[in-house]
Amino acid sequence: MNLRVKSVESSIADSHDEERSLKRSLGTFDLALMGIAVAVGAGIFSVGAQAAANFAGPSVIVSFVLAAVTCGLAIMCYAEFASTVPVAGSAYTFTYATMGELLAWIIGWDLILELFTAAAVLAKYWGVYLGEALLAFGLPFPSTFDLGGVEVSWPAFLIVAVFTALLVAGTKLTARVGAVFTIIKVAIVLFVIVVGFFFVKAANFTPFIPEAVPTDGGATDVWTQSLFSWMTGAAPAQYGVFGMLSAAALVFFAFIGFDVVATSAEEVREPQKRLPRGIFLGLGIVTLLYVLVSIVMTGMVSYTELAAEETPSLATAFRLVGQDWASAVISLGALAGLTTVIMIILLGLSRIVFALSRDGLLPRWLSKTTEHTKTPARIQIIAGTVVAFVAAFTDVGLLEEMINIGTLSAFVLVSIGVVVLRRTRPDLPRGFRVPWSPVLPILSAVLCVWLMFNLTTLTWVRFLVWLVIGVVIYLLYGRRRSRLGLELRVSEVELPTAQGAEPPAGS
């Protein structure tokens, strides 16, 4: 079977196409800020509290470390690929160079699902948090209005439109705006951490790993159970060591987004050096922030008090110690956090579609870049328009878990791809190498598959439907139109002709 593997040299050569190339303007610090911008969102104020209350207690601190290690393994694989093949497309491009066109299309299709869904969901939440932030300061704010019986979230439409315009204007300009918002939200997080430490009591850390307790029997609805629970009949773990591991699976999704940084590889100066440095610097800072927040939160109040709340969050911990003012500050932090996440997600979405289009798997006219800013303006405007309308007019919250399964499937293939490329092209220069290969890349793939099995059966069904649609599109359009396929067909025609040609006169 012909896998249609695209060579690394061909991928790099495509990045020099004047009509379809991106401007290299980003440095190490830009990449680190991009990683922080996409990973530190509203979740930093809530996901740890939910994990502590329902699964791990104070040991959620360890859960964050375990999640960071799992993410770090996958990110190491991304860093090796990005420093070897520094072009747009991230996991799609890496898979094309190792496992062939069909798997590359599937992972590109998955990434479109992940990033499109994430952009729409987070834009919708941005409108909600904007209303909550203004309400916390005594300013009632209608974040929706009725249009012919349809509830419209106009802030969701507005935020996507603004960042779409910024991204069309240039990646460097967008990075500067993102840096401002990122600094603001990190400052708010640090402020909350410092203030919270004054209310920490050592007694709240005991027991550090609460004793396991029987659950209510687990979910009875087949669609809301995790695939693992459905397949094995196992009840969900609560507290104890297994509860701590379950919490790690939950909080892992706080780190999802670092793969988006790799989509900007073609826009980085000296990518072999700067990409790995920027990615790891960002991951280190994000891990530190999450661990500090979890220490403060579980130290301020007992996990049992958080468990008694319907929707526990960091603001809940402050309220329980009599500091109601913190909710307003935390609302601002959540709003700033979501702002930068939306921006980076929109950037990543356009770069994935750009790479697919440049390779001919989607219409080639999409991938033309503007003459001055070297941005894929056509893709950015189309993607931004669709995201804005979906976020404003639909209930996208139903598809939240699709973000996770799309990301994890990409993590798995990239981890395996590192092993494949080491064997097939050991000669390639690598700015970063994953240590202890193939052990660590395989471990990364196994851990990510395990996390995928912790997602609901309904998510898996939706995912499989999306994959079937993608395969149909590939067979009807992409396989016939891809540039690599056209080159292979031309070579197949020319080779027999050359073999059967008459020898030159006088030979």
What digits encode the pLDDT tens for the residues 159-178? 999 999 988 887 677 778 88
Percent of the chain at pLDDT above 90? 23
Residue pointed to by tokens 């080639």: 364
* Sequence-ordered list of residues with C-beta below 8 angstroms from that of 496, at least 6 positions apart, any chain: none
Q: Does 349 score more than 70 pLDDT? A: yes
**Reduced DSSP (H G I as helix, E B as strand, rest coil) percent helix, strand, coil of the chain, to 5:** 70, 0, 25
Class of residue 259 by CB neighbours under 10 A (exposed 0-12, middle 13-18, buried 19+):
buried
| Closest by Cα among 175, 159, 171 to 88 | 171
Q: Does 236 score more than 70 pLDDT? A: no
d(CA 91, CA 101): 12
What digits encode the pLDDT tens for the residues 370-407? 877 788 889 999 999 999 999 888 877 666 667 778 88
What digits encode the pLDDT tens for the residues 398-433? 666 677 788 888 888 889 989 988 998 888 888 889
**Confidence band (pLDDT; 50, 70, 90) for 500?**
low
**Confidence band (pLDDT; 50, 70, 90) for 199?**
very high
Residue pointed to by tokens 């990190």: 186
* HSE-CB for 189 with a 13 A CA cutoff: 29
* Sequence-ordered list of residues with C-beta below 8 angstroms from that of 333, at least 6 positions apart, any chain: 44, 45, 185, 188, 189, 192
Q: Does 498 score more than 60 pLDDT? A: no
**Confidence band (pLDDT; 50, 70, 90) for 68?**
confident
What digits encode the pLDDT tens for the residues 250-297? 787 777 777 777 777 778 888 778 888 888 898 899 899 999 999 999
- Identify whether the C-beta of residue 437 lies closer than 8 Å to the C-beta of residue 141: no
Residue 24's region, left for phi above 0, alpha for psi from -120 to 50, else beta, is beta
Q: Mean of the per-residue pLDDT values for the chain?
A: 83
Q: Does 303 score more than 60 pLDDT? A: yes
Report, as an integer, the average pLDDT of 111-121: 87
d(CA 152, CA 475): 37
Three-state SS at 429:
coil
Report, as an integer, the average pLDDT of 230-245: 76
Query: Phi and psi (nearest 5°) for 153?
Result: -95, 95
d(CA 425, CA 330): 49
Q: Does 208 score more than 50 pLDDT? A: yes
Find which of 73-87, 441-455, 461-475 is predicted with most confidence, using mean pLDDT. 461-475
**H or E stretch including 182?**
helix 171-197
Number of other residues whose CB lies within 10 A of the CB of residue 262: 29
* Three-state DSSP string of 369-425: CCCCCCCCHHHHHHHHHHHHHHHHHCCHHHHHHHHHHHHHHHHHHHHHHHHHHHHHC
Q: Does 225 score more than 80 pLDDT? A: no
| Closest by Cα among 354, 352, 383 to 367 | 354
- pLDDT score recorded for residue 182: 87
Torsion angle of C-alpha atoms 247, 249, 251, 255, degrees rounded to 10: 160
Percent of the chain at pLDDT above 70? 91
d(CA 297, CA 44): 11
**Confidence band (pLDDT; 50, 70, 90) for 507?**
very low
Tokens read off for 87: 């072009």
d(CA 287, CA 39): 10
The amino acid at residue 153 is S
**Confidence band (pLDDT; 50, 70, 90) for 216?**
low
